[in-house]
Homo-oligomer: A and B are copies of this chain.
């Protein structure tokens, strides 16, 4: 190693040491834009796990379900019946898109969900907003991706957390997010004829 390289190396070491020290002092708290995407399980259920944590810590929260509205899911029953004050629960969709088979109705439902979502995000009383399956509505262009990303980036209150779930999250959304988790299916029993079961899938 020549002198220049050695000096550079030493300088980088010092920078790294200083940086490591700075990293230790990172204590920032701020509202996050979180995405759960991928073809695996756990995208919605981990969102509901965070709702459980928020209720425990006294953080008021809101759920807007974009696509699953049609069914009687465990999470909907649980939150509406047991925690109506701690967690607001809105449904905009009527089922999966292949259930309704009516694009205009799907678009209207998604737009309605997005109107509610904006109100909930802007509400200073709310600390966490779960936009469940919104990625499906974005993927089919029921909602305008630029409008959604623009709103999250410029209008979301600094301390408010927003979690957006669903497969095929758009690149613009991934770009805008603070935290992205991809749930990947490695093995699934549906392939062997096991049906969706209470407590597990819904």
* Cβ-defined partner of A49 (8 Å) among B16, B49, B177: B49
Mask, A122-149, CB within 8 Å of B = 1, is 0000011000000000000000000000
Given known contacts A101-B9, A128-B199, A188-B179, A52 and B49 CB-to-CB distance under 8 angstroms = yes
Q: Considering residues A46, A184, A188, which has the most beta carbons from chain B within 10 angstroms of its beta carbon?
A: A46
Question: How far in angstroms is the closest Cβ of chain B from A78?
Answer: 4
Question: How far in angstroms is the closest Cβ of chain B from A15?
Answer: 4
Bound form: Cα–Cα A172–B12 in Å: 26
* Cβ-defined partner of A104 (8 Å) among B5, B47, B49, B202: B5
Question: Hey, which chain B residues are within 8 Å of A192, CB to CB?
Answer: 26, 28, 178
A28 and B193 form a contact (CB under 8 A): yes
* Cβ-defined partner of A27 (8 Å) among B15, B34, B195: B195
* Cβ-defined partner of A187 (8 Å) among B12, B49, B178, B189: B178
Bound form: Cα–Cα A37–B36 in Å: 15
